[in-house]
Amino acid sequence: MQTKFILFSGKGGVGKTSMASTTAVYYAEKGCKTLIVTTDPAANLSDVFEQEIGHKITPIEGVQNLYAMEIDPDKATDEYKERSLAPMRELFDEDLIKVAEEQLSGPCTEEMAAFDKFIDFMETDDYEVVIFDTAPTGHTIRLLELPVDWSRHIEESAKGSGQTCMGPVALIQDSKKKYDNAIAKLRDFNQTDFIFVMQPEETSLQETLRSSHDLEEIGIHTTKVIINGLIPEAETIVPFFKGKYDRQQVVIEKAKELFSQLPIQTMELFDTELKGVDMFKRSAEKLFQGSDSNE
């Protein structure tokens, strides 16, 4: 089976991690070897799965086939630098290595390191499903623009000075192929699902629409929208909730018009916090009601 990549994005606080974790538990329960990775520096997979995870692939307790990792930007940067410098250590003296180390200490290296780690998981065939719980939308768009930018940057530098802000072109030429492969996978909707999570509010809808257009510009297609945080209809006997419910329904109808080509799923609020494997099993039943695993 070809690995399926599923990316979750949306504004901070809309429930991306909950929906990504719910989806991860769903696929793992169906017998697929599943990995969930967070690229959000404010990662909280450890909190929602109620166990220590961190910057290493960790089996999730209570669910067979499920693994998780929180990318640590500092550790990713150290690993990236070491990987870049390793081939040089055998060829050059200490002074040249120091110069190369300085070149690899700029902010563009940190940015690239996070993406490089992200791409590592797009190259794996160890898992049947890889789920990315991404940072809030703006960061994610930047992250996904990076391979396009860097591929171009490496190409232009190779024709010109031979230098990039990550060091000599010769050292990172191999990365170009890696980035080009990642772009191809991200643009292939047979391999990659890009899901936006939003709240049933006008501002959240507009942000989702804008971000979806930004992605289209780099050739990545939105494949689904999840509207999270609905007031259950049973609660509308209380006037306060009735008013809120009615306003939410207006936004849902508008979302269906604006995203008329896409499947839209809705997720009601639970009466308790959405964390822990048992809760994710419950939410998976609701989110994937009547769906098959290709949904």
Residue 295 domain-assigned? no
**pLDDT the model gives residue 180:** 81
Query: The domain spanning residue 57 has which CATH number?
Result: 3.40.50.300
Domain presence at residue 55: yes
First to last CA, the chain: 16
Tell me the pLDDT band of 295, cut-offs 50, 70 and 90.
Answer: very low
Distance CA 86, CA 164 (A): 18
Mean pLDDT (whole number) for 99-114: 76
Contacts with 173 (C-beta within 8 Å, 6 or more apart), sequence order: 154, 158
Quote the mean pLDDT of the chain.
86
What is d(CA 150, CA 195) in angstroms, rounded to the nearest whole number? Answer: 25
What pLDDT digit, counting tens, does each position of 221-275 carry? 999 999 999 999 999 999 999 999 999 999 999 999 999 999 999 999 999 999 9
Q: C-alpha distances in angstroms, 280 versus 64, 234, 270, 284? A: 14, 22, 11, 6
Domain assignment of residue 118, yes or no:
yes
Domain carrying residue 48? 4-287
- Does residue 87 lie in a domain region? yes
Is residue 294 included in any domain, yes or no?
A: no
Q: Mind listing the pLDDT tens digit for each residue in 24-46?
A: 999 999 999 999 999 777 768 99
Give the mean model confidence (pLDDT) for residues 126-133.
95
Is 274 a member of any domain? yes
Judge whether 293 lies within some domain. no
Residue 292 pLDDT exceeds 50: no
The mean pLDDT of 274-289, rounded to a whole number, is 93
| SS3 of the chain | CCCEEEEEECCCCCCHHHHHHHHHHHHHHCCCCEEEEECCCCCCHHHHHCCCCCCCCEECCCCCCEEEEECCHHHHHHHHHHHHHHHHHCCCCHHHHHHHHHHCCCHHHHHHHHHHHHHHHHCCCCCCEEEEECCCHHHHHHHHHHHHHHHHHHHHHHHCCCEECCEEHHHHHHHHHHHHHHHHHHHCCCCEEEEEEECCCHHHHHHHHHHHHHHHHCCCCCCEEEEEEECCHHHHHCHHHHHHHHHHHHHHHHHHHHCCCCCEEEEECCCCCCCCHHHHHHHHHHHCCCCCCCC
* 14 occurs within a structural domain: yes
Q: How many domains does the chain have?
A: 1
Q: Is the pTM of this model over 0.75?
A: yes
